[in-house]
Amino acid sequence: MRLDRFLSETTPLTRSLAKRALKNGEVTLNGDPIKQAATQIDTGNDEVLLNGERLTLVGLRYLMMHKPADVECTARRGLYPRVIDIIDVPKVERLQPVGRLDVDTTGLLLLTDDGQWSHRVTSPRHRCAKVYVAELADPMEDETAEWAVEQVAQGILLEGEETPTHPAILRFVTPKKAELTITEGRYHQVKRMFAALGNHVTALHRHSVGDVVLPDDLAPGEWRELTPEEIASF
Ligand code: URA
């Protein structure tokens, strides 16, 4: 990798600021001062120091966050803080949410800069199960609840769509609280499924994605790296 690119990948410096740091003699390569931005370096073996500090490339990253309400999954700045605003890691803007949650939805959010892995998790072909807990405006009991469970198991035609949802699993915890397991990630899917059942979601929380479950000790706004087993589970 070119030295100026290596500097911009491993520090907050842009390519032009990296060139300036080189010119100013702030960089050493294997102990010797270096000024040529075009120098090719072996990122695995060469030792590059900026003002005496060793630089290393950030590898692919895999994180989980307990997304709080009123935080957005978008990349652009908007009305609310973004999830990447509350994660303190270098080059945080490279992390992409793996399937978005609405601004008012809480719970498990995965983030990565590995596009292929993200695709494996989100592609409907892979049928990765996501479990949501929804609080409902209106109680659903007895035959209504049974009917809803059946509808969800068969697939529901959402407003404005032409193909029904994949068969999903609905389980009522109480008449106003239900757990829904889906294997797709259509736009506002859970809220629209309950709307199609004549109800309204007043609060939504994602409990798990595939085998990865939100840990009880991860408070809203907290995040941690995924374990190698969690990464490999998709
Ligand atoms: N379905 C929704 O309606 N909202 C979410 O945030 C996630 C799934």
What's the pTM value of the predicted model, to 2 decimals? 0.87
Q: How far is the CA of 16 from the centre of ligand 1 (A)?
A: 42
Give residue limits of the domains in the chain. Answer: 3-54, 62-232
Please write the tens of the pLDDT for every residue from 170-203: 999 999 999 999 999 999 999 999 999 999 999 9
pLDDT at residue 60 in the model: 93
Q: How far is the CA of 75 from the centre of ligand 1 (A)?
A: 18
pLDDT of 128 strictly over 90? yes
Question: Which atom of ligand 1 is nearest the CA belonging to 99?
Answer: 7
pLDDT at residue 90 in the model: 84
pLDDT at residue 12 in the model: 86
Please write the tens of the pLDDT for every residue from 73-88: 998 999 999 999 999 9
Q: Please provide the DSSP assignment of 133-146 as one string.
A: EEEESS---HHHHH
- What share of the chain has pLDDT > 70, as a percent? 100
CA 11 to chain centre: 23
Q: Is 102 a catalytic residue?
A: yes
Any atom of ligand 1 within 6 Å of the Cβ of 131: no
Q: Please provide the DSSP assignment of 32-45 as one string.
A: EE---TT-B--TTT
pLDDT of 230 strictly over 90? yes
Q: How far is the CA of 132 from the centre of ligand 1 (A)?
A: 8
State the catalytic residue, choosing from 32, 88, 102, 142: 102
Q: What is the residue-averaged pLDDT of the chain? A: 96
Please write the tens of the pLDDT for every residue from 44-102: 899 999 999 999 888 899 999 999 999 999 989 999 999 999 999 988 989 999 999 99
pLDDT of 37 strictly over 90? yes
Residue 163 exposed, middle or buried by CB count within 10 Å (0-12, 13-18, 19+): exposed
pLDDT of 20 strictly over 90? yes
Fold (topology level) of 62-232: Pseudouridine synthase (3.30.2350)
pLDDT at residue 164 in the model: 97
**Which tokens in the block code for residue 182?**
């889906």
Q: Specify whether domain 3-54 bears CATH 3.30.930.10.
A: no
